[in-house]
């Protein structure tokens, strides 16, 4: 997941910014070519899955939205896990009477 977060997502977002900034001359932009090269392994997987439904020009946009959705779902899973662990620790403290006794802080 670190590979996706630090290589694929910035490369795809960089392609989007080059698309907005370079306009019609974006095909000659060498920086955009480098970003396409870095994001190619990730976009190729999406391109084979969505072969006819999504045009080739929209695959990087679709891929970046898909990656952002996966990252948000993983973050939600992490927060739920944190909440469960915190509640279990609190119930353990109450069950073993580590809290609520007179004279203890």
Q: Are 27 and 78 in contact (CB under 8 A)?
A: no
The pLDDT value given to residue 105: 53
CB atoms under 10 Å from CB of 80, counted, come to 10
The pLDDT value given to residue 103: 52
pTM assigned to the model: 0.61
Q: Are 39 and 67 in contact (CB under 8 A)?
A: no
The pLDDT value given to residue 87: 94
How much is the average pLDDT of 21-28?
76
The pLDDT value given to residue 38: 83
Dihedral of CA 11/41/56/73: which sign?
A: negative
Number of residues written out for the chain: 105
């Amino acid at each position: 997941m670190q590979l996706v977060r630090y290589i694929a997502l910035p490369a795809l977002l960089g392609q989007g910014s080059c698309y907005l900034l370079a306009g019609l001359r974006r095909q000659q932009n060498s920086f955009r070519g480098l970003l396409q090269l870095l994001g190619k392994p990730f976009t190729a997987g999406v391109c084979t899955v969505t072969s006819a439904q999504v045009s080739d020009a929209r695959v990087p946009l679709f891929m970046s939205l898909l990656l952002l959705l996966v990252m948000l779902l993983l973050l939600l899973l992490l927060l739920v896990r944190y909440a469960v662990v915190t509640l279990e620790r609190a119930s353990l403290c109450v069950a073993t009477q580590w809290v609520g006794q007179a004279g203890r802080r």
